[in-house]
Structure 1
């Protein structure tokens, strides 16, 4: 189109490209502020003005993904990848979308492709490790976590993530060691404290577990999982009334906390409060199996 000829609601090509660029930039700030609907509106207009910009499609796909509009997110990532086939970011984000939809093998394909392009991308390695875990390929997931830690040993989250996987595998000593590494880096890492407390409980180290869980709750007084774990620890230590108070609080914070209902039901049963035990077990069965 020759210079000066108007198009796209009266804008010249140059003006349309300029407006589209500013809209993309504003959308990125909206995304940083978690204002995804505003970002989507800006990116939709930007795409109408400059439809061949892969970044706009990718950013809009990301906002759709974060707001769980998975089908439209896939459409946007597909278009971004048509325009820019070797975008590790778009491949990784599409992989995350597939994973959220339960399409795990397709997610793995995207993650593997993305990692050939950007082998040191921590967030893609983490996403791949999560999918391997969901596929019950736990040894392979551990290998990915080892790569993540090797790339940067100073990230407490990475140690916690591997600790969680060790705990899932019932490797409590290994989990405790990883949570300890996270806490060396960040002594107030609430999840590391809470999860180490749970691993210590599973290792029958109740006093140590209680210390971790108390600290976690000092730092985060509304941590439902820490209340649930501490309730179980208190029960093991013979303080059933304290345990019931903690489990009641855990359930107040998350009324679909299946494990807390089960543990509280067992305590009620031990106390021969069978009507209350039946109520908690019934609730747990309903939440987990739809009974």
Structure 2
């Protein structure tokens, strides 16, 4: 299918809010505050609080370097604030500075050992580093503290997929859907897992449930189209993939899939147009090179076929 390992779309997975008005620090003296440019203890705590709040907005804007700068100063002012360590760890994680993220989550957990948020985020960091057993330990601990946390359940399901413990991953998705079956992404995520298991009818059912909730959900349309393609239901696949591309014309995966469908339906020129555009959007789209190479081969355009197969081998295996 060319879509790689299933992973959660973190932008769609709900986390607990980073702050609440009741959590704003009051300028009281704290023994954890260090002197900073001659500020009084109360002023230092107040400044640290504002810096943390500004950092949250930077994080929401994906301006993680700016967030890290604010949080570093905030930590210098008030090193005993677990939230600052946790937020800086999350910013480091989002820009793939995983070792720094782990250090920050470790500090946060020294201050708040029962923080499900920090445990879940540290688990995601371990998973991103390929340390799947350590990730599972963090997720399991976090879920004893917050058993209904959807984003942690989703992260655990992803780790189980990477560990090839697919039946257990399906169990986690069942928990997610029991908690919130009104979230289209939850159905899409399980549909992706069914598709990985080559259970295309089950995948199509889950994508359909997502589309019942949100008829213009681009990923559900694209993935259902792919499942239809894998089940040799090409006309239905073409309808879904075309609708996904009406909504998102630069969806490279939908273009690649539609290209393969059009080829199966005998329209190789239209197929090549879609695959050319998919590769233009993502020059490292290995599967698109392979499909386009096969079409070139079918058309006796063997020099172009060789070029595409060579590029696919280079990208996937380093040849």
The residue that corresponds to 2:80 in the other structure is 52
Structure 2 unmatched ranges of 5 or more: 1-28
Q: C-alpha displacement at 1:236, in angstroms?
A: 0.6
> For residues 92-103 of structure 1, what are the structure 2 equivalents within 5 Å?
92-103=120-131
Check if 1:81 corresponds to 2:81. no
CA distance in 1 between counterparts of 2:304 and 2:278 reads: 17
The residue that corresponds to 1:248 in the other structure is 276
TM-score (norm 1): 0.97
Instruction: Calculate the aligned-residue CA RMSD, in Å.
Output: 1.4
The residue that corresponds to 1:192 in the other structure is 220
CA distance in 2 between counterparts of 1:26 and 1:106 reads: 32
How many aligned positions are there?
A: 289
> For residues 210-229 of structure 1, what are the structure 2 equivalents within 5 Å?
210-229=238-257
CA distance in 2 between counterparts of 1:2 and 1:141 reads: 45
Query: Secondary structure of 1:180's partner?
Result: helix
CA distance in 2 between counterparts of 1:162 and 1:95 reads: 21
Cα pair 2:35 2:77 within 8 Å, conserved: no
> For residues 207-286 of structure 1, what are the structure 2 equivalents within 5 Å?
207-286=235-314
Check if 1:145 corresponds to 2:178. no
Check if 1:38 corresponds to 2:66. yes
Q: C-alpha displacement at 1:2, in angstroms?
A: 11
CA distance in 1 between counterparts of 2:266 and 2:88 reads: 54
The residue that corresponds to 2:161 in the other structure is 133
CA distance in 1 between counterparts of 2:84 and 2:186 reads: 30
Deviation sequence 1:143-194 (CA, Å, 0-9, x none): 1011001101110001000000000000000000000000000000000000
The residue that corresponds to 1:169 in the other structure is 197
TM-score (norm 2): 0.89
* Runs of 4+ off more than 6 Å: none
